[in-house]
Amino acid sequence: MNKNKKKIEEILRVNHAGEYGAQIIYNSQIRFSKNNLLKKELKRISSEEKVHLEYFEQQILLSRTRPTIMQPLWKVGGTALGFVSSVLGEKYVHACTEAIESTIVDHYQEQVEYLKKKNVRSDLRKNIIKFCNEENQHKLRSRKKNDNQKGTFFFKLITKNITKLAIKISKKL
């Protein structure tokens, strides 16, 4: 298998896993949040993320790329993260979104650079750029809504590192 094909499969697998995880986290937050205004916002974000998931589902099928074997664990972890952030309150829901989306924006930007440098899959690059911009908007809105960061620093740090670890694992497994 050539190096570009292997890297494209890795990109599709990890992005599919990430968008799957996003659905699990947002749906868990929606389920456990008591704040109806927050639920409405989370439903809007989740619907945007669902478009991303559907795109990567289609791409892994078309390219015959196997999805991550970690999905059952990501489902449990995503549900727990959604539950915990919801129980802790709105500022933790926003902190969760900011931490995850910040990590995803960096991750997507690395992929865009790779695809551009190798001059492969301009269709994939175009969609990742679009999705990256949407993820960045989620991050910025959450940061703005949570401008009083008091008490969320360590939660965001932990969430960011868990996200980075999930990315690293999902690329390979």
Dist CA 101 CA 116 (whole Å): 22
Q: Which residue has the tokens 């993260």?
A: 81
| CATH class in words for 3-172 | mainly alpha
Dist CA 83 CA 25 (whole Å): 8
Angstrom CA distances, 138 to 65, 68, 71, 135, stand at 28, 25, 23, 5
Q: What is this structure's pTM?
A: 0.89
- The structural domains of the chain, with segments of one domain joined by +, span 3-172
Q: What's residue 1's pLDDT?
A: 52
CA neighbor of 29 nearest in space, from 80, 100, 71, 70: 80
Q: What's residue 148's pLDDT?
A: 63
pLDDT, tens digit, for every residue of 127-160?
A: 999 999 998 888 888 888 776 667 888 898 999 9
